[in-house]
Amino acid sequence: MCVAAVSTVQPVLAQTASPAASADKVDQLIKLLDDPEIRALLNKQTAAPAAEADTSMSATEFSALGHRIRDHLRKIGEAIPQVSSEFMRAGGTIADDINGHGPLGVFGLFLTMVLIGLGAEWLFHRIASRSRMHAALAQTDGARQNPLHSAGRHLFAVLAPLVAFSLASLGLFMAMTWPPLLDAIMLPLLLGVIACRFVIRIARLVLIGPRTGKDVAATAGLVPIDRASAVFWYKRIFWFACVFFAGWALVGVMVALSIEPGVRATVGYALGLGMLLVAIETVWNRPAAIARPHGRGAMEWALTFYLCLLWGLWVAGLVIILWLGIYALILPGLLKATTAMARNAFGGTPDVPGSGNPVVEVLVERGARAIIITLAVLWLAFLINKRSSMFTGEAMTDRIIQGVLAGAIILLVADILWQIAKAVINRTLEHAQVSTADSAHAARNGRLLTLLPILRTMLAIVIALIAVMMVLSGLGVQVAPLIAGAGIFGVAIGFGSQTLVKDVISGVFYMMDDAFRVGEYIQSGSYKGTVESFSIRSVKLRHHRGPVFTVPFGTLGAIENMSRDWVIDKFTISVGYDTDINKVRKMVKGVGAALLEDEELGPLIIETLKMKGVEQFGDYGIDLSFAMMTKPGYQTTIRRRAYMMIREAFTQNGVVFASPTVQVAGGDSSSAAAAASTVKTAMDLKKLAESGEGA
């Protein structure tokens, strides 16, 4: 900070200390600038470079990139014969600067530090063995452990010994005073061993599971895959990590020994061939390729070519394109494994509805995915910032690249917010779909089933619009004119689609008034049916005969809700004029009591069946009125059962239903038949007349 401050202040001091120009010199400068010849010469010199830059930039852009690639490859080719001489010189440098000790002495010191770290790790295992025994005993109690506690305990058991190893080996080396060259050589070696062991341990925890004594097969990793596949991927990660960190440490040692950059790059590319061979072997022997019915084929050859292409991009020096290719190769599988691991560790039990915490599951799953993508984006941004000369280097290009990288992070945050909101709403909907006997709770559930899907849609639209606006703003797009234009366009659309606006506003007020809910049977004009779902502008009604009506809210009008609170069902029965009305009342009272005692229909009856009295005197008998109060939607079923019970009671007690009869005086059979024929003809004519009026 002091250096930066001094470098900032020095130009200012230089400017203040410069002597003031005299008035004569200023007058001479003004006269020279007023000269037309000098003015034309200045304009020519300032315009020529700009025009030349504008015309040559696009023409030589790719040519310059090709020249850089050829120069890079030429330097690599020139460095290959120098590898042996550079390493011999490095050996002499080690012997000269480290008290006569050669590479074997450095290797012996490195091996000593590693053994000290392993001893500290073994001692930590012995000290922590008692706590692990207590944890194992607690695990056998039968109580279900919290996944967070279990994952944290396993992670501590895996990483804590490595922390002891790191503190003992690296900490001891850093605490002592060594020659500068030895310090620069040993540091990357120790860091490479520590990083490699951390990666291998974490891979073992994720794929195979923690080691539990002799019974290793009893444990399982966090990723839900079979053990053979887990062992396969663990071994490949082990070898890949060993080759990668060995190369990384060796490059650090070569930097400390001041080996030529071309030689360092050549050795790195040679070690990269080892990683390439491991990757190709993984492609051809992976479980998915072996389990394929037709065996290995075009997919394996394509992946092999792709891996060789990545290595070629690395050798050519196209680092940014190389990392884009690596991301395209490993990010989909890594994100898929992260999702499976999060759901396996924090998801609910599939057989138990409502188990698990959706917010924690979404936070862990989407948070882990966001961290992985964010780290990849930040690393890519670092490379682009470091190697921006590979592209145009213009301010507009840099701003676009920064906007794209920032937009990726914005979209990740928006995705996390949307997934959390959606998980909470979906869990609430699952709870609301559970049937309950409490009428108030059932009404609340119906309201939630009605409003939450609309809220979910609105949240998705709002989050998407905000995220898109922020991304466009990061890319340099002026958002204010877009918002103003959208407002004007919205007003024009509002005038042009008044019916749509009416439907949307009417739907909002229907929801505020709680006029109907999902699952209720309503009637509006000629439309009636059970409410199935909503949209922003319409409601879907399922008719009891099957058809579905999609009715806009603006055309609903008055709503007749037949599924709220209770229903009174009334019907009439005609009996003969000689029937004892009080006797019928007692029989119906018994039928009502029997309905209440029914296990299936009794809970659905609020007020049981009662006879209200004589409704009217008909042509052939007395019309008796009956009524009962039931829960909505069950009145038809209860009425049918009541009809059956009333008929049985009337039959047992000799009560006769009213029916048209004809009495003919005398014993002439021909007269009786003629009279019956006359009555039948009259009744047929009456029915025909009624049907004609109804038509």
Burial label for 135, CB within 10 Å (0-12, 13-18, 19+), is middle
Beta bridge partners of 528: 523
Q: Looking at the whole model, is its pTM more than 0.85?
A: no
- Return the closest-CA partner of residue 314 out of 272, 256, 253, 271: 272
310 close to 326: Cβ distance less than 8 angstroms: yes
What's the rounded Cα separation, in Å, for the pair 425 and 359?
10
pLDDT of residue 674: 66
CA angle 155, 157, 163 (to 5 degrees): 90
Tokens read off for 461: 């639209």
Handedness of CA 483, 484, 489, 492 (dihedral sign): positive
Beta strands per DSSP E along 117-265: none
Coil, strand or helix at 527: strand
Q: Distance from CA of residue 224 to its chain's centroid?
A: 19
CB-hemisphere CA count at 13 Å for 576? 11
Handedness of CA 631, 635, 637, 640 (dihedral sign): positive
530 close to 521: Cβ distance less than 8 angstroms: yes
Provide, for the chain, the percentages of residues in helix, strand and coil under a 3-state DSSP scheme, each rounded to the nearest 5.
Answer: 70, 10, 20
Q: Distance from CA of residue 114 to its chain's centroid?
A: 43
Tokens read off for 62: 């790719």
Strand order in the sheet with 560-561: 548-552, 538-542, 527-534, 521-524, 560-561
Q: What element of type H or E holds 226?
A: none
105 close to 98: Cβ distance less than 8 angstroms: yes
- Return the closest-CA partner of residue 413 out of 346, 344, 479, 474: 474
- Return the closest-CA partner of residue 565 out of 446, 452, 424: 446
Domains identified in the chain and CATH numbers = 327-477 (no CATH), 485-564 (2.30.30.60), 567-653 (3.30.70.100)
Q: pLDDT, tens digit, for every residue of 193-245?
A: 889 988 888 888 888 876 544 444 445 667 778 888 888 888 989 998 998 99
What's the rounded Cα separation, in Å, for the pair 133 and 214?
14
What's the rounded Cα separation, in Å, for the pair 55 and 45?
16
Region of 572 please: left (phi>0), alpha (psi -120 to 50) or beta. beta
Amino acid (1-letter code) at residue 56? S
pLDDT of residue 603: 84
> Whats the size of the chain, residue-wise?
695
Coil, strand or helix at 297: coil
What's the rounded Cα separation, in Å, for the pair 623 and 436?
40
What's the rounded Cα separation, in Å, for the pair 443 and 519?
11
Q: pLDDT, tens digit, for every residue of 483-514?
A: 776 666 666 666 656 777 777 778 777 877 77
- Return the closest-CA partner of residue 354 out of 442, 436, 447, 429: 429
In this prediction, the residues of the chain whose per-residue pLDDT falls under 50 are 1-21, 46-59, 137-138, 140-144, 212-218, 389-393, 694-695
Q: Which residue has the tokens 């009217």?
A: 616
pLDDT of residue 142: 45
What's the rounded Cα separation, in Å, for the pair 78 and 36?
56
What's the rounded Cα separation, in Å, for the pair 456 and 51?
56
β-pair type (605-617, 622-630): antiparallel
Tokens read off for 582: 């009080």
Coil, strand or helix at 375: helix
pLDDT of residue 593: 87
